[in-house]
């Protein structure tokens, strides 16, 4: 996975590759699909959600550039796999999930792996988590129709947010940087995420 899916596509950050090498991806999946854990694609988990493709996890992590001692917000805990990767690279992660069942499963796996610098919450993360803001880094792992204003407001100065923005079936990875009050957006590669459902995302019945 590291050579064929990540290095060959340009992921070069040593710490990101090391995190991808040490976090056991299969642990974050239902038993029936564990044999596919290192395939080059997103895979279904429970509640109609997905665990992201390894390359997308590594690429977004590299873009986010989480430094040790950074305070990170993740929106869309899902399986908890991306959370575990971020936890290896930062000081503390706050991760929000809207589905209780997924939150509970992710909490169990992260505890099993003794990953302790993580606070998991159940809430609508589309409006962020103002009680712990500001964040040095924010990663959204569900598709947003536009960059949510509340998340931009919760970004610290010199902070960066990485998120998929676009339509329901295809999005673009966007980097949002805050530098001395200025907001700079940079568009990257195409991607496919499940919808961010909530106040600043899609409505629950959006088809």
Cβ of residue 42: shortest distance to ligand SAH, in angstroms? 8
Return the residues of window 171-200 that contact ligand SAH according to CB under 6 A: 194, 196-198
d(CA 33, CA 85): 20
d(CA 131, CA 193): 27
> Is 142 within 8 Å of 198 (Cβ atoms)?
no
Q: Report the candidate in 10, 123, 117 with the shortest Cα–Cα distance to residue 56.
A: 10
Q: Does 164 bind ligand SAH (CB under 6 A)?
A: no
Cβ of residue 72: shortest distance to ligand SAH, in angstroms? 13
CA dihedral 184, 12, 95, 143 (to 10 degrees): 60
| 3-class state of residue 186 by DSSP | strand
Kindly tell me which residue out of 61, 70, 126, 154 binds ligand SAH, with binding defined by CB under 6 A.
126
Instruction: Report which residue's Cβ sits closest to ligand SAH.
Output: 78
Q: Does 125 bind ligand SAH (CB under 6 A)?
A: yes
d(CA 69, CA 86): 12
β-bridge partners, 161: 138, 176
Kindly tell me which residue out of 79, 105, 154, 171 binds ligand SAH, with binding defined by CB under 6 A.
79
> Cα dist. 55→4, 52, 124 in Å?
10, 8, 26
Pick the stretch among 59-67, 96-104, 147-155, 163-171 that binds ligand SAH (CB under 6 A): 96-104
d(CA 114, CA 174): 32
Kindly tell me which residue out of 5, 61, 70, 82 binds ligand SAH, with binding defined by CB under 6 A.
82
Query: Of these residues, 52, 79, 90, 95, which one is catalytic?
Result: 52
- Identity of the residue, 50 or 150, whose beta carbon is nearer to ligand SAH in the bound complex: 50
Cβ of residue 179: shortest distance to ligand SAH, in angstroms? 27
Residue 79 appears among annotated catalytic residues = no
Cβ of residue 102: shortest distance to ligand SAH, in angstroms? 5
N- to C-terminal Cα distance for the chain? Answer: 33
- Interface positions with ligand SAH (CB under 6 A): 49-52, 75-76, 78-79, 81-82, 96-99, 102, 124-126, 141-142, 194, 196-198, 201
């Amino acid at each position: 996975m590291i050579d064929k899916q990540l290095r060959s596509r340009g992921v070069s950050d040593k710490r990101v590759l090391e995190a991808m090498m040490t976090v056991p991806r299969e642990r974050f999946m239902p038993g029936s699909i564990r044999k596919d854990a290192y395939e080059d694609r997103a895979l279904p988990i429970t509640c109609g959600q997905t665990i992201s493709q390894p390359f997308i996890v590594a690429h977004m992590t590299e873009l986010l550039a989480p430094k040790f001692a950074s305070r990170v917000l993740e929106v869309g805990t899902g399986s908890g796999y991306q959370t575990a990767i971020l936890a290896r690279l930062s000081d503390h992660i706050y991760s929000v999930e809207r589905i209780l069942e997924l939150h509970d499963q992710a909490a169990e796996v992260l505890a099993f792996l003794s990953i302790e610098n993580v606070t998991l919450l159940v809430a609508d993360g589309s409006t962020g988590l103002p009680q712990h803001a500001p964040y040095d880094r924010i990663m959204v792992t569900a598709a947003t129709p536009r960059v949510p204003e509340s998340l931009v407001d919760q970004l610290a100065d010199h902070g960066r947010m990485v998120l998929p923005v676009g339509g329901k079936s295809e999005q673009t990875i966007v980097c949002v940087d805050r530098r001395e009050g200025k907001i700079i957006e940079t568009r990257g590669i195409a991607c496919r995420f499940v919808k961010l459902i909530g106040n600043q995302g899609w409505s629950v019945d959006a088809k």
